[in-house]
Amino acid sequence: MARARGARPTVENVGFCFKDTILFDEDEFSDLILGLPAHIGCLIDIGHMIVNRWDAQRVVRALGSHIFSYHIHNNDGTRDGHRPPYEPGLLYTPAQMDALFACMEAYSPDAEWILEYEPGPHISIESVRGDLRRMLELAGKA
């Protein structure tokens, strides 16, 4: 039914180990996605991987074209704060984010990149544009 309507069923990596709400750990999630029919993929929430201490590049390499989209944000590793990917002082450094984006582009080049920020004074039009410029440059699309 989904294919007939042009929809792509997608499963997100949800839940948090610190709240005991995680549905699947890193390996279980990968096994789930790889065992589904090819027209069903996943949405990888980068912030969820960070806070749950998943090996983000390993997940991206393993799931590759099964990844249809990403929610992109960073956090401090203690809660799912939707902070900008390059904000200083967060768990993933700017260099780690650059490496992750390069991996995402290499293994899932057709996936959508969705910026997901919480509101606050740390967000401005120029800061979002700056994040987008840096990400597009890494993907060779600037």
Q: What is the pLDDT of residues 78-103, one digit of tens each?
A: 988 899 999 999 999 999 999 999 99
How sure is the predictor about 50, in pLDDT bands with cuts at 50, 70 and 90?
very high
Portion of the chain with pLDDT greater than 70, in percent: 97
Number of other CB atoms surrounding residue 87 within 10 Å: 20
Place of tokens 């090819």: 38
The pLDDT, as a whole number, for residue 8 is 86
The tens digit of pLDDT for each residue in 5-26 reads: 878 889 999 887 766 777 889 9
Residue 75: how many CB atoms within 10 A of its CB? 20
